[in-house]
Amino acid sequence: MTQRARKLVGTFATVGFLIIYSLVAMTVGGQLVLGGGLAVELPFYIAAGIAWLPPVMLLIRWMAKPDPST
């Protein structure tokens, strides 16, 4: 797969992942965390705000791989 094709696929995958991730984080936060007080809510939202980075960083690293030499 060429780098250009990987970037196209990766862009759609990133957007799709972030939409699904944000909906899941909102649902979990609303059902389990909301109303738990600052000591529960703050760590959850910090963790939820950071947890999406590793998967997206791996996807971006895959997208940026150079094309194999032909």
Give tens-digit pLDDT for 3-59.
999 999 999 999 999 999 999 999 999 999 888 899 999 999 999 999 999 999 999
Give domain status of residue 70, yes or no.
no
53 in a domain, yes or no?
yes
**Distance from C-alpha of 6 to C-alpha of 65, rounded to nearest angstrom:** 9
- 30, amino acid identity: G
The overall pTM is greater than 0.75: yes
Stated as kind and residue range, the H or E segment containing 1 is none
Instruction: Establish if 34 belongs to a structural domain.
Output: yes
User: Which residues touch 58 (CB under 8 Å, ≥6 apart)?
Assistant: none
Give the number of domains in the chain.
1
- Domain membership flag for residue 69: no
CB 2 within 8 A of CB 67: yes
Q: Is the pLDDT of residue 70 over 80?
A: no
